[in-house]
Amino acid sequence: MALRELSSLERFLGLKKPNKYSTQGGKKVPVLQNNNGPALIGLVTIASHLVHEAKRAELLGDSAEQRAVVQQWIEHRITRLDNCSKEEVKVILKELNQYLEDKVYLAGNIFTLADILMYYGIHHIVVELAILEKERYLNVTRWFDHIQHYPGIRHHLPPVVVLRNRVYPNGHH
Chain residues in the site for another protein (CB under 8 A): 1, 26-29, 37, 40-45, 48-49, 52, 64-65, 67-69, 71-72, 75-76, 78-79, 83-85, 87-88, 91, 94-96, 98-99, 101, 124, 127-132, 160-161, 163, 165, 167, 171-173
Of 14 and 95, the one with the shorter C-beta distance to another protein is 95
At CB < 8 A and 24+ separation, what contacts does 117-120 make? 117/5, 117/43, 117/44, 117/47, 117/73, 117/74, 117/77, 118/73, 118/74, 118/76, 118/77, 118/81, 119/144, 119/147, 119/148, 119/153, 120/5, 120/8, 120/157
Residue 32: CB minimum distance to another protein, A: 10
- Could you tell me if 60 and 112 are in contact, meaning their C-beta atoms sit under 8 angstroms apart? yes
26: phi then psi, degrees, rounded to nearest 5: -65, -25
Of 130 and 152, the one with the shorter C-beta distance to another protein is 130
Residue 38: CB minimum distance to another protein, A: 8
Residue 78: CB minimum distance to another protein, A: 6
Residue 95: CB minimum distance to another protein, A: 5
Of 3 and 153, the one with the shorter C-beta distance to another protein is 3
The Cα 50–Cα 167 span in angstroms is: 41
Residue 148: CB minimum distance to another protein, A: 12
For the chain, how far is it from start to end, CA to CA, in angstroms? Answer: 39
Of 26 and 151, the one with the shorter C-beta distance to another protein is 26
